[in-house]
A and B are shown apart, each in its own frame.
Chain A
Amino acid sequence: MKRLSRFRRHRAVAPLLLVLALFSIGTTFSVAGASTSSPLTAAEKSALIDEGQRIFLKGCSSCHGLNAEGGGIAPSLIGVGAASVDFQVATGRMPMADMSTQAMRKAPVYNEKEVEALAAYVASLAPGPGIPGEEHLNYERDGSTAEGGELFRTNCAMCHNFAGQGGALTQGKYAPTVMGVEPRHIYEAMITGPQSMPVFSDKTITPEEKLSIIKWIKAAENEPQLGGAALGRVGPVTEGLLVWTLGLGMLVGVAVWLAMKAR
């Protein structure tokens, strides 16, 4: 230290310090910014897209076409965006197990890296909604449970049930439960409108309002079951069924015992 301080009035100190400060500021920003802005260089990105195309040709092109242009049995994927791919593939809906009425949630076929590559490939075909970053999904900070509940009841409850348990649509199609779904996937479903679900535009339901909806869903998931068995939380249907079978059955049993003669 002593030896260093001897040079503190040296002519070169000021320019040297300036360079050092600029360098440190620059590196700090590039390191801190790396997590929020694109972490990929152009070369890495094109490698990822190539990888995605390879997976696509192997796993998806038989239905969606060699250039994702769609076919008789599957829609075109041009312009659906990375968010759509991430939702469909990361929740296991795609690839479909069979051509039934609806692609259902199951264990995903591709891992996170492969989904990322597929999403990058499909997003490279034409612009579309992107995958929301973690910094846009801080629903605990940016959402409001009460507002979310109001939005959910107006916009979501008719299909997904007032408690988010899901419900039936026409001809065997259904709206799945929203319990236990990743916040990112809930967000992606709202901006892309997968399968029967319509799109909920950012102008009619703002990103903050979408986070409020997610916050309400998460609050509903953690709702304690004060009455014991929730019976699917679908209201009078299961409750009535239970009363008509178990409840009336018990009453009939008691009535039979009442009328039985003692020996």
Chain B
Amino acid sequence: MSNEIEAIKDPGLPAHVHRRADTDPKAAKKAERQVAILFLLSALGTITLIGSYIFIPQNVFIFFPVLGNTNAHQLFLGLGMAASLFFIGMGAIHWAKTLMPDEEVVIQRHEFRSPDEDRADFIRTAKEGAAAAGLGRRSLIKRSLGLSLGLVGLSPLILLRDLGPLPGNSLTKTSWKAGTRLVTDPGDRPIRPEDMEVGAVAQTLPAVVLAPGEHRKLSDIAKDAVLLIRLRPEEFNLDAERLSWTHEGIIAFSKICSHMGCAVALYEQQTKHLLCPCHQSTFDVTRAAKVIFGPAARPLPQLAITVDSEGYLVAQSPFNEPVGPSFWERSS
């Protein structure tokens, strides 16, 4: 074995091959011209950029292959800038590769470890410094320094509190209360059961009283959005409690996906499936939004609905569970 390994000789470095430009003055001249052409192309690019900024109006659209109908101003600004930067780099590299000195230099690596006497010197200096500072003798300084350094580490933790208010009960509570009317989003009109045909859907929000000029908070819409769907009552496959949460075939679900909080509203009328566009979680509307496909772990929360004395759809009660994705303190 050992003889075989010894038999393989160190092949050394490959022989240095000279470039044509090193030996042939004609080739060198040609390479010089190529570099100059690349730099000139870059200059042309910059001129295109400046020219198109000044001379091409912003509302001119031209047909450009592959891109289609496109804005000429933007197109030539981009092409000009791309050419001006790209060809400078390309010229510089071509210059370096063909004309700059082509000597191969070998530098041997030295050992990484410091010499022993340097190492001993360092340790001696450090010990002398420690003795001069007197840390070993002055324990009051040593302890108070330890305390202050330890406490410094706490300050970033305290500053983290400034990242925002604590969520409080905002993760578990929505604006829905017993008797809150369901109103259209957008439009804020209350809905009667007879306003929806079988197979119809409606995007709804809780009715709120807003001062003139005041808008709903996005943080509220993000929790309160509810999807109303009307089926034939006999199509439901629900237990008695969940069935009592529907009204004449109208069923209401939170629109916020129980997986990652996307708006689930892709309702397929024929299959009665609700699909979340983000991760394809699929919920069966006839079985209280049971998860039949995808990463969601829980059904969409169902809102119990009924009608009020004026015949408008209202919530029977708030949601019986937090809407949206899981969070640390969630009980279920």
Contact = CB atoms under 8 A, between A and B. Distances in A.
Interface of A: 147, 150-151, 154-155, 158-159, 167, 169-170, 173, 175, 193, 195-201, 203-206, 209, 224-230, 258, 260-263
B271 A196 contact: yes
B74 A226 contact: yes
B200 A154 contact: no
Given A198-B201, A228-B70, A204 B186 contact: no
A261 B20 CA distance: 12
Contact of B275 (A151, A169, A226): A169
Q: Tell me the dominant secondary structure on chain B's binding face.
A: mixed
Contacts of A225: 61, 68-71
Contacts of A226: 70-71, 74
A200 B201 contact: yes
A227 B179 CA distance: 50
B246 interface: no
B67 interface: yes
Contact of B202 (A195, A201, A224): A201
Contacts of A206: 187
Interface stretch (B45-53, B139-147, B206-214, B259-267): B259-267
B199 A224 contact: no
A262 B19 contact: yes
B197 A199 contact: yes
Contacts of A150: 186
Nearest to B185: A154
A198 B66 contact: no
Nearest to A167: B277
A198 B269 contact: yes
Contacts of B203: 154-155
B69 A199 contact: no
Nearest to A199: B200
B270 A228 contact: no
B200 A198 contact: yes
Contacts of B275: 169-170
Interface string B267-282: 1111101010100101
B242 interface: no
B282 A170 contact: yes
B296 to A, nearest CB: 14
Given A228-B68, A263-B20, A196 B277 contact: no
Contacts of B64: 228
Contacts of A209: 187
Nearest to A171: B271
B16 to A, nearest CB: 11
Contacts of B298: none
Contacts of B229: 198
B93 interface: yes
Nearest to A153: B186
B200 A158 contact: no
Contact of A196 (B192, B265, B269): B269
Contacts of B6: none
B70 to A, nearest CB: 4
A26 to B, nearest CB: 40
A203 B67 contact: no
B286 interface: no
B97 interface: yes
B34 to A, nearest CB: 11
Contact of B68 (A193, A196, A230, A258): A230
B199 A198 contact: yes
A263 B319 CA distance: 75
A158 B271 contact: no
Contacts of B277: 158, 167
B70 A197 contact: no
A111 B277 CA distance: 37
21 contacts: A158-B263, A158-B277, A167-B277, A169-B266, A173-B268, A193-B200, A196-B270, A198-B267, A198-B269, A199-B269, A201-B196, A201-B200, A204-B189, A204-B195, A205-B184, A209-B187, A227-B74, A228-B67, A260-B97, A262-B19, A262-B97
